[in-house]
Amino acid sequence: MRILLLNPNTTPAITDLVAREARKLAAPGDEIVPATGAFGAKYIVTRAGYAIAAHAALDAWARHDAQTDATLLACFGDPGLGAIRELSAKPVVGMLDAAVDAAGGKRYAIVTGGALWDGMLREILAASGRNKNLAGIRTVAPSGAEIAADPDAAIASLVAAIEDCAAKDGAECVILGGAGLAGLATPIRARTAVAIVDPLAASLDALHKTIAGTAMGAAPAIASDGLSAALAARLDGKFGN
């Protein structure tokens, strides 16, 4: 399976990090095809950056979908996930969505970098109805981009937050949220007995279980202005799935 690993922020180093870790976790025969957002925030830490990232994700997907068999949206907040699924006839998985599924109905918490993500994730989960078993969300001071740049410096604070999720919030498992935290599940598991959900591993597993999506098909074409040629063609229905 050729998997489009789509990073909707504009930092190639984050794309490279997630792609490298995805290749370690991928099933035999999988090929990871990385793509980085062409515009928007260098790393998504605000609602404005998140809103722009949904457009950037759609745009990158439109440019690369024809050459791949499935899409992994490599941003923990899943910006643009529903829209890509609406347009695609192929499996599309988001890291947050897959991680919540991987929690298996247990009371889960999320630990991530960047203070604003607490409120943002609560809004996203509430809007999708995925917050029923949410025990809590805890953030550490470094953003995901800063954690990616110096992961060793962040492990102690991440582990402390994870322990608080279990001891104070009653979480049965903790999702390690953020593309910038890719690859940290293994060293963190060595430092805590709390069950850890790795969103990247969960996403790759979900792709192999996902039934192909429902494309717009007979839905009316959408006229547009100012979009990339690739995205405009997909909205107009001129590019087959």
- For residue 145, the model assigns a pLDDT of 87
Position 104 in a domain: yes
- For residue 241, the model assigns a pLDDT of 45
Position 108 in a domain: yes
- For residue 141, the model assigns a pLDDT of 86
- For residue 144, the model assigns a pLDDT of 87
Report the chain (241 residues): mean pLDDT per 10 consecutive residues: 96 96 95 97 93 97 95 96 91 96 97 93 95 96 89 94 98 96 96 98 93 57 90 78 45
Same domain, 102 and 41: no
Beta pairing, strands 70-73 & 92-94: parallel
What total number of domains does the chain contain?
2
Position 241 in a domain: no
Domain that holds residue 15: 2-96+205-236
Which CATH number goes with the domain that contains 144?
3.40.50.12500
Position 12 in a domain: yes
- For residue 214, the model assigns a pLDDT of 54
Strand ranges across the sheet with 31-36: 31-36, 2-7, 70-73, 92-94
- For residue 157, the model assigns a pLDDT of 95
Same domain, 54 and 32: yes
